[in-house]
Amino acid sequence: MSHTAGIDLHTHSSCSDGSLTPGELVERAAAAGVRVLALTDHDTLAGVAEARAAAERLGIRLVPGVELSAGWRHQSIHVLGLWIDPESAALKAALEGQAERRRTRMRRMCAALSKMRLPGDELLAAVEAHPGIPTRSHLAAALVQQGHARRIQDAFRKYLGRGRPAHVAADWPALEEIVGWAREAGGVACLAHPARYLLSSGGRKRLVADFAAAGGTALEVVSGGNGAQNAPACAALALAFGLRGSVGSDFHGPQLAWNPLGRLAKLPAGIDPVWRGRD
């Protein structure tokens, strides 16, 4: 298989739910041959400065990014803001709102777990001990650590996944607003892992149409989280709506072997790379 040499525009550090610190992430990326790396933690820019310093040291390009949580038709949708200005006051203020929504949702999820006779207060304390932004991954890890699920996947299957008893929908801002945040911070908006949402093909088309109409720039056509097999369908959507294409592993840590850093399939022919003119 051929790969997109050295470009990975979707990764997580321990500032959200990744397992490596931003510096460790950049070191691993450089060792894997990545030349252009975006750090895209969930709803936080906290890791960008450390990642940028490490990237400068190692001679690779760091794209400042963030994976923004958005609401669209009762679903959570992820929009990558790439090449954003990490000093943008408007974006920082918006992300403080996202953090507050996450804290509120985490308390409600733990309350739901308490109702199921699980120790919600202890689980909340374990999540709050983590210095980064709280995500369901942290709650899943606490459920495993405290012996209520065997593996992270089981915690999602039993409690935290969509439609499960401790799942709480966050009141994320609408897709249009989120796309605006990325653009107003000088960046481009890229719809993350388009194949991963639970949508019919018609629903996915409407999502991409709405994303493009809101000012979105790119689709993550090649996504580690997706599997390369979804790339042709995503490429067709990108072409249909005049969007550029991105590639990203959605790397969360070396323990998850299915989306290693920087080993991504090439963008299908005819797709305009979102990094063109910037690499």
By the criterion CB under 6 A, which residues form the site for ligand AMP?
17, 42, 69, 135-137, 152-153, 156, 161, 252
Site for Mn ion in 144-203 (CB under 5 A): 192
Q: Which is nearer to ligand AMP, 154 or 272 (by Cβ)?
A: 154
Nearest to 239 by CA among 215, 210, 264, 268: 268
Q: Which does 161 bind (CB under 5 to 8 A by kind): ligand AMP, Mn ion, none?
A: ligand AMP
* Shortest distance (Å) from residue 111 CB to Mn ion: 23
Nearest to 74 by CA among 175, 220, 151, 192: 175
Q: Which is nearer to Mn ion, 24 or 67 (by Cβ)?
A: 67
48-51's contacts with Cβ under 8 Å and 24+ in sequence apart are 48/22, 48/86, 49/86, 50/21, 50/22, 50/23, 51/13, 51/22, 51/23, 51/25, 51/26
* Shortest distance (Å) from residue 37 CB to ligand AMP: 18
Q: Which is nearer to ligand AMP, 6 or 225 (by Cβ)?
A: 225
State phi, psi for 109 to the nearest 5 degrees.
Answer: -65, -40
Q: What is the CA radius of gyration of the chain?
A: 18
Q: Which is nearer to ligand AMP, 12 or 266 (by Cβ)?
A: 12
Give dist(CA 131, CA 99) in Å, integer: 12
At 245, list the tokens. 């294409």
Number of shown-chain residues binding Mn ion (CB under 5 A)? 5
Q: Which residue is nearest to Mn ion (CB)?
A: 78
**C-beta separation of 187 from 159 below 8 A:** no
Nearest to 84 by CA among 67, 106, 59, 101: 67
From candidates 8, 13, 15, 17, binder to Mn ion by CB under 5 A: 17
Q: Which does 260 bind (CB under 5 to 8 A by kind): Mn ion, ligand AMP, none?
A: none
Q: Is 78 in the site for Mn ion (CB under 5 A)?
A: yes
Q: Which is nearer to ligand AMP, 43 or 212 (by Cβ)?
A: 43
Q: Which does 156 bind (CB under 5 to 8 A by kind): Mn ion, ligand AMP, none?
A: ligand AMP
Q: Which does 153 bind (CB under 5 to 8 A by kind): ligand AMP, Mn ion, none?
A: ligand AMP
* Shortest distance (Å) from residue 94 CB to ligand AMP: 16
Q: Is 250 in the site for Mn ion (CB under 5 A)?
A: yes
Residues that bind Mn ion (CB under 5 A): 17, 67, 78, 192, 250
